Structure 1
Amino acid sequence: MSKKPREIFLKGCNEIAEVLILHGFKVAQKGQTVSKRPNKDITLQVYFQSSHYNDENSVTIIPHITVYSKAVKTFDIKAYKNEYCTGIVWGKQLCYILGAEYKIWNLAKTSYARTVSEIQKALTDTVLPLFDVFCKSSDEIIEYGITQKLDISLSYFLVFGGKETAEQVFQTKINQCRYKGQYMKLYNTLLNMKEDNIDPKYNEFVGAGEMKMAYLQGLRLR
């Protein structure tokens, strides 16, 4: 009797996770989530997403790589006025860490072994070294984030780097963004608003909430 797609997916998750378990990671959700807390603040997580449309010929697996900070979560809940903030410091789908193109992996049939091996290799060669960065001191994380353009959460810079560093990061991010005009239009609107009327929970477009949060924290653009 053939296995159901869900069984194949979870089997793949657990096999892939073996390379992380060797480095102190623990599995949860039947293997769908693998995480590690290297210190009291940081949590490193790999989450395997699947699809409701799986069948015997296609069992989707999409690895999501995320770093969380307890201190950033506390800060974000207050700064964004949102109790559901999770404290994400950095995160990407695995495919975007490996390259610029979107990709999903297939665990069905003959693709199974190749997919497991490919994701294990990517986690070992690319993700674990990135995770190692977040096991270092906050100063080292900030330095790496800036020099390598890692797109770390602005909140992390506010919490651990201070206003001046955060403002420099904020300015650079806006200057290099291809939607700079849209951001500056919002920024100029904020300049003429009362702070009590600014809602960082509301995103008119991607990144609008972060800009509002930054403005409310006193960061200014030149």
Structure 2
Amino acid sequence: MADHGAEKPREIILTACSAIADQLFKDGFSFLKSGPKLKRKARDLTYNIHFQSDRNNVAGRRAAMWIHASVSSDIMARWRLENPMPWNGTHKPSLAIITGGQIGNLLPNSSWMEWNFADISRRTAQIDEATSAIRTIMLPFFALFETPATAIETLIHYPALWQSSLIEYALAHVGRDAAQHAMRQYLTANPRIHARYDEALTYIRLHGPITHRGDTGAELAMIANIHAFNLTDI
């Protein structure tokens, strides 16, 4: 039961986000309270850190927050408009998104991470821990995109990220050979997804495009079919 005289979880979390933003200001991030999120623009790329409140927060008991990252590219958005997939549509903000996820999913072995600011005696420590996690996990993740080939080679094997989007990123920023190589490496390392890819590719060639997304193997098969990848050697 909520303590109606206690601090409201939303107010606590906004204050915590502002404190995190103060610590990351020198890293070039601006704070958008309406998100709430942090944002940094670097040439073509936009790095976003999103703060999400747990809907099960209770005044006086729980003021938990999850942190997510996303990386967007203006070049990616333009490329997708010129090379549309059936599920992308047009002029959507999501066209620019390369990849992202909950902070624990930005690690090679994904995990769930959250911070609870309800206990005032531990609030400063929780803020510092959240900021430290951003510095040690998110900032190196963002830094990978300074060299697109490195980002693709590293992140294609992270299980919780969006492999189909990374392949599109490779096509847009590095080239077809790099995209094909990354897909080959990923499918070779993931036989179950490779099997779904083969099944989807057969379906596409017999019946036409798959118009919805949600299965990694099917999404990769659509990209391979449209861009005439040659992956017969895997």
Q: Give TM class, smaller chain.
A: 0.7 to 0.9
The answer (yes or no) to whether the contact 1:17–1:31 under 8 Å persists in 2 is: no
Give how far 1:204 is off.
5.6
**Unaligned 5+ residue runs, structure 1?**
none
What is the TM-score when the length of structure 2 is the normalising length? 0.80
Which of 70, 77, 87 is equivalent to 2:96? Answer: 87
- Where in structure 1 do 4 or more consecutive aligned residues deviate above 4 Å? 147-152
Which of 201, 219, 223 is equivalent to 1:209? Answer: 219
Q: In structure 1, what is the Cα distance between the partners aligned to 2:23 and 2:188?
A: 39
Q: Which residue of structure 2 lines up, in the alignment, with residue 74 of structure 1?
A: 78
In the alignment, structure 1 residue 155 sits paired with structure 2 residue 168: yes
In the alignment, structure 1 residue 106 sits paired with structure 2 residue 119: no
Q: Which residue of structure 2 lines up, in the alignment, with residue 121 of structure 1?
A: 132
Give how far 1:192 is off.
2.6
Give how far 1:31 is off.
6.0
CA distances 1:186-206 after superposition (whole Å, capped 9, x unpaired): 12222334xxx314x402624
Which of 209, 215, 218 is equivalent to 1:198? Answer: 209
> What is the one-letter code of the residue matched to 1:157?
A
The answer (yes or no) to whether the contact 1:142–1:161 under 8 Å persists in 2 is: yes
> What is the one-letter code of the residue matched to 1:3?
E
Aligned residues, how many? Answer: 213
Give how far 1:146 is off.
1.0
**Alpha carbons of structure 1 residues 204 and 9: separation in structure 2 relative to 1, 3 Å:** closer
**Unaligned 5+ residue runs, structure 2?**
none
Deviates more, 1:106-115 or 1:158-167: 106-115
RMSD (Å), alpha carbons:
2.3
The answer (yes or no) to whether the contact 2:196–2:218 under 8 Å persists in 1 is: no
The answer (yes or no) to whether the contact 1:10–1:31 under 8 Å persists in 2 is: no
**Alpha carbons of structure 1 residues 74 and 29: separation in structure 2 relative to 1, 3 Å:** farther
Residue identity over aligned pairs, in percent, reads 22
